[in-house]
Chain A
Amino acid sequence: GDSVTQMEGPVTLSEEAFLTINCTYTATGYPSLFWYVQYPGEGLQLLLKATKADDKGSNKGFEATYRKETTSFHLEKGSVQVSDSAVYFCALSDRNNNDMRFGAGTRLTVKP
């Protein structure tokens, strides 16, 4: 079945460092891809999404590009802030059903 694999954490960076969190997927169809963020004590919030190959999702300085050839959707940010400390989830959704598959989550801690 469809699945998502993301890099294991935790990831610890200094403020203003460059961030990459890797995500690869396995799907039989043409899924939509998502990054969700979970701040401490809160629910998941949609960070960005991409619905077809070569689409780039972006929000709050974060970006991810839907790469069909490498089945990847890596999350990047050029300069992280302390407020970016959270758990990040990569996810995919098949257009034909209501099922969303989440990766295991990557905890990011940004130190001042």
Chain B
Amino acid sequence: DTAVSQTPKYLVTQMGNDKSIKCEQNLGHDTMYWYKQDSKKFLKIMFSYNNKELIINETVPNRFSPKSPDKAHLNLHINSLELGDSAVYFCASSHPGQGAHEQYFGPGTRLTVT
């Protein structure tokens, strides 16, 4: 009964490749997010989707493209991977109607670009 799940958990790939990370939530939430966590544990929001529509699009390279086929899924596609893309990527979801906007996080995907 995992609330927010991500696949894969680990992803090792070479520079220049294209890869995707999948995220699914079974909480019935309207809003989903992607965060990037660097080696110093700093969390940076990348995207936010509400009901399949893009709400937040922070300054990230356009090599990163989120795709939301439905409310329960928000996938992250990355083109032409670079060494600096190595990080842990977290998916999260929230339901603004519940007042406090708390977010529920997935377990993370550790991306290593060689």
Chain A interface residues (CB < 8 Å from chain B) = 32, 34, 36, 38, 42-46, 49, 51, 87, 89, 93-95, 97-100, 102, 104-105, 107
Q: How far is the CA of A98 from the CA of B40 in the complex (A)?
A: 25
Which of B11-19, B48-56, B59-67, B75-83 faces chain A? B48-56
Chain A residues closer than 8 Å to B56, beta-carbon distance: 98-99
Majority-rule SS of A interface residues: strand
Interface residues on B, range: 20 to 34
The chain A residue with its CB closest to the CB of B49 is A98
Chain B interface residues (CB < 8 Å from chain A) = 4, 31, 33, 40-43, 45, 48, 50, 55-56, 90, 92, 94, 96, 99-108
Smallest CB separation, B24 vs chain A (Å): 14
Smallest CB separation, A94 vs chain B (Å): 8
Contact A98 B107 (CB under 8 A): no
Q: How far is the CA of A105 from the CA of B33 in the complex (A)?
A: 19
Question: What would 27 A/B residue contacts be, using CB atoms closer than 8 Å?
Answer: A32-B100, A32-B101, A32-B102, A36-B105, A42-B108, A43-B4, A43-B90, A43-B108, A44-B92, A44-B103, A46-B102, A46-B104, A51-B100, A87-B41, A93-B102, A93-B103, A95-B101, A97-B55, A98-B31, A98-B50, A98-B96, A98-B101, A99-B48, A99-B56, A100-B101, A105-B41, A105-B43
